[in-house]
Structure 1
Amino acid sequence: MTAIAPFRPRDALDPGFGIYVHWPFCAAKCPYCDFNSHVRHQPVDQPRFVAAFLKEMAAMRALTGPRSVTSIFMGGGTPSLMAPGTVEAILSAIARQWHVPDGIEITMEANPSSVEAERFRGYRAAGVNRVSLGVQALNDADLRFLGRLHDVADALKAIRLARDIFPRMSFDLIYARPNQTVEAWDRELREAVSYAVDHLSLYQLTIEEGTPFFGLHKAGKLAVPDGEHSAVLYEATQEITAREGLPAYEVSNHARPGAESRHNLTYWRYGDYAGIGPGAHGRLTTAGARVATATERVPEHWLTLVEEQGHGMVEQEILDYEAQADELLLMGLRLKEGVDLARWQMLSGRDPDPEREQFLIDHGFVERLGNARLRCTPAGMLILDAVVADLAC
């Protein structure tokens, strides 16, 4: 199997065309998770779902026309609950619908609790060349608090297997957990860096409406770090990862130069991507228009829709230029490289408001990179939503 082609500087000029496949099933629902994931106590009919994925791909191919794929990402849910044969069938179908060059990034998310060496080797044989592990913490007490089914020993086993079997590997951690000190996070993060190969995703714990944690937090039974302490943890994260050779290239993602996630960069650079499967979203350029797509979230309802009409899409919204400009700004300011101003000006039909921009520059929240790009400073990243809202007005 071909390894991932090296990342090239000119790739920044082409946001790419990605394929996202959503496998919505999990062994258990984590109390902080608001993703479209579902627990089923009976075995999932994988052949039936594969047939539906293939039908929806054909519908997406009719929208996109012939394209060359730059990345594939299998997310969830827990894609590592799929049989290797299911993964192989999906990847083969993508290659029949679109051109898939050798060496593109093909990522699959996996949970340490569902990892087996033979299964990992099967995914590798199917074509997966990058795995993203949902580790989330490196101490057992916090793993239990987060509702994870694995312990630290399972996590380390999965990391070792991934490093041995796949050319590329990343794993996630959640910080700003209750009672987490900067000193404890420093130790945990430095340990994580010692296990990482070239990429880490580091997310602050957020309390999302509709999750069990939201109810506990609202009832006063779950306390999380306040904004000031969260900011200190964030700043420590940037300092440690930069010092260890894994600097941030996006607000929550860190990589050795050249090992950035090509698929996620497609999102943040506002490229095209087809979203396939229950609850998947997409952004597609079709016949001169940019279309936002979304599919039915409930897996069984999605399955019925696909079998009856050939796809599970429930939204196809044409985005006007103003909406595209806002999305470009929202996504691009997450990146250390910032936003391509010429592209934003082309979509919005205007220059950034000089007074608003100067105010943000004077307060140290944004900066210009020559005349070509605008980016958030480290201080601006701490209030990213406010910066985006100010510039978008």
Structure 2
Amino acid sequence: MTPDLPNIGQSPLLPDTGEPGFGVYVHWPFCAAKCPYCDFNSHVRHQPVDQERFAAAFLKETEWMRRLSGPKTVTSIFLGGGTPSLMEPATVETILNGIARQWHVPDGIEITMEANPSSVEATRFRGYRAAGVNRVSLGVQALNDTDLKFLGRLHDVADALKAIGLARDIFPRMSFDLIYARPHQTVEAWEKELRQAISYAVDHLSLYQLTIEEETPFFNLHKAGKFIVPDGDQSALLYEATQEITASEGLPAYEVSNHAKPGAESRHNLTYWRYGDYAGIGPGAHGRLTRGSEKLATATMRRPEGWLDLVEKHGHGIVDEERLSRDEQADELLLMGLRLREGVDLARWQQLSGRDPDPDREQALLEHGFIERLGNSRLRCTPQGMLILDAVVADLAC
């Protein structure tokens, strides 16, 4: 580590304060292959990426974001993608040191890196740990080889279990993702796979239902009838089984798709869901930065080479910058906060929106068992409400 900078990521993780916090998100846009279900900003390059050039651009854009945000204390850093584990450890160290030069980065904050099992090796993992990464999130996605092949993954189950073992040995905290509601998946098969996953997990799992996104290969294949995903009723049964099993095994849902032992929740993602501020750095990254009474929404150029050119010419790759009204902020707070088991801070929502929730709409949702009050201070979805979350948010935001 650079001697004049904090030895970030090396102390025990700081406890969650319950505050939204300020996060820094860094997007590494490159992947070894594009998964057919993925609509994230990820790109395959058949020639080696100039990591030194990209790292220098990340540093320049970090400086720009610091000008927009003003002085802040960072509460989490997240290296997402793409496949950040394709970065050299030296590139990660350069980026983390650059963040520490621009904002106050206390030792012990959560620093997460996403990784794919196919790009994992022990020396690289140890290099990330030495650079300050203290939490890894593995894109496992399935624990049988047939479905991994269907999902377009480059790893098999043996690779996944090796990566999980390495992550458990090297990092203080580890999570991995699974995708369920796959074609022909029964509740019984998912229950068996989920229990197997929990036996490998440490304290956190992210469990997502397969969604068919436009402009992905799966969208066209699904539209052509090449495969069928579980219908609404079957998806609901799979979701309910997920909640029951994870809760019984000590990993209850704290968000729609995320499960953790108490205290092991993802601090960075909590910043999003609690509607905190975050700087988005890198190709296609989004940010939310409060300036006085305004919240600035930023988005950068998605195409990596286009972003790189913009940063080198102008110091940043921002292509969209919007000042959100208080009503827009209130709607975003509601949209994000109702995903959480802890719910939404009503006083904060009322301060932004300048009004109380519509009493008739709220009463109807209460009577149907879709929402509940936690005293007078918070509002949250019930497990039944989580099944129709979008509709609940739309009702309350009107």
Which range, TM-score by smaller chain? over 0.9
Which residue of the partner structure matches residue 105 of structure 1? 110
Give the corresponding residue for 1:215. 220
Matched, 1:15 2:20: yes
- Secondary structure in structure 2 of the residue aligned to 1:86: helix
Q: 53, 56, 59: which is aligned to 1:51?
A: 56
Distance 2:89 2:278 in 1: 24
What pairs with 1:182-261 in structure 2 (closer than 5 Å)?
A: 182-261=187-266
The number of equivalent residue pairs is: 390
Alpha-carbon distance in structure 1 between the residues aligned to 2:193 and 2:11:
30
Is 2:13 aligned against 1:5? yes
Structure 2 residue identity aligned to 1:92? N
1:285 equivalent to 2:293? Answer no
Matches of 2:346 and 2:352, distance apart in 1:
10
Over the matched positions of the two proteins, sequence identity in percent amounts to: 81
The answer to whether the 8 A contact 2:129-2:171 is kept is: yes
Is the CA contact 2:14–2:109 (under 8 Å) kept in the aligned structure 1? no
Which residue type is aligned with residue 183 of structure 2? P
Q: Which residue of 1 aligns with 2:6?
A: none
Match of 2:346 in 1: 341
Equivalent residues in 2 for 1:4-83, closer than 5 Å: 4-8=12-16, 11-12=17-18, 14-83=19-88
Q: Distance in 2 between matches of 1:364 and 1:215?
A: 37
The Cα shift of 1:222 comes to 1.6
The code of the aligned residue for 1:231 comes to A
1:261-315: CA deviation from partner (whole Å, max 9, x where unpaired): 0000000000000000000000001243110000000000000000010100001
In the alignment, residue 315 of structure 1 is paired with which amino acid? D
In the TM superposition, 1:85-234 aligns within 5 A as 85-234=90-239
Q: How far does the alpha carbon of each residue in 1:62-115 deviate from its partner, in whole angstroms, 9 at most, with x for none?
A: 011111000000000000000000000000000000000010000000000000
Sort the Cα spacing of 1:4 and 1:226 in 2 relative to 1 into closer, same or farther, 3 A: farther
Task: Give the Cα separation in 2 of the matches to 1:7 and 1:383.
Answer: 32
What does residue 372 of structure 1 align with? 377
Mind listing any 5+ residue stretches in structure 2 that lack a counterpart? 1-8
Q: CA deviation at 1:6?
A: 4.2
- Once residues 137 and 289 of structure 1 are traced to their aligned partners in structure 2, the CA distance between those partners, rounded to angstroms, is 42
Q: Residue 221 of structure 1: CA displacement? A: 1.1
Q: CA RMSD in A?
A: 0.7
Cα distance in 1 between the residues matched to 2:219 and 2:384: 28
Shift of 1:4: 4.0
What secondary structure sits across from 2:275 in the alignment? Answer: coil
Q: Is the 8 A contact 1:7 1:259 kept in 2?
A: no
Runs of 4+ with >6 A deviation:
none
* 2:325 aligned to which of 301, 320, 328: 320
Q: Which amino acid aligns with 2:123?
A: E
User: Which residues of structure 1 form unaligned runs of 5+?
Assistant: none
1:291-347 Cα offsets, whole Å, 9 max, x none, are 000000000000000001010000110000000000000000000000000000000
| Local SS of the residue matching 1:128 | coil
How many angstroms apart in 1 are the aligned matches of 2:336 and 2:97? 30
| d(CA) in 2 for partners of 1:176, 1:4 | 36
| CA–CA distance in structure 1, aligned partners of residues 325 and 293 of structure 2 | 11
> In structure 1, what is the Cα distance between the partners aligned to 2:71 and 2:377?
31
Which residue number in structure 2 is paired with residue 329 of structure 1? 334
Is the 2:203–2:261 Cα contact (8 Å) retained in structure 1?
Answer: yes
Alignment partners' CA distance in 2, 1:315 and 1:305? 13
